[in-house]
Amino acid sequence: MRPITDMHTATISIMEIELIALKKLSLVSHALAQKIGGQAGAEQKCLADVLDETIRKIELVAAGVKAA
């Protein structure tokens, strides 16, 4: 089994409406994390943070900046 920290590079196409949907999903995920609290809230916040990082990488690539 590979470690979850392995890095992979993929080429995908994202439409602007899909990016907007991801941003809205992030907002909902953060709100849900605050609402439910406890361990489940912490896990939800972690998932929302991963989504935020993915959105950031998409935006950097779209702007022509190499994502780190």
Residue whose tokens read 């959105």: 55
pLDDT single digits (tens) 24-37: 999 999 999 999 99
Position 48 scores a pLDDT of 98
Q: What's the CA gap between 44 and 33, in Å, rounded?
A: 5
Position 67 scores a pLDDT of 59
Provide the token pair at 17: 């409406």
pTM over 0.75: yes
Q: What's the CA gap between 56 and 23, in Å, rounded?
A: 10
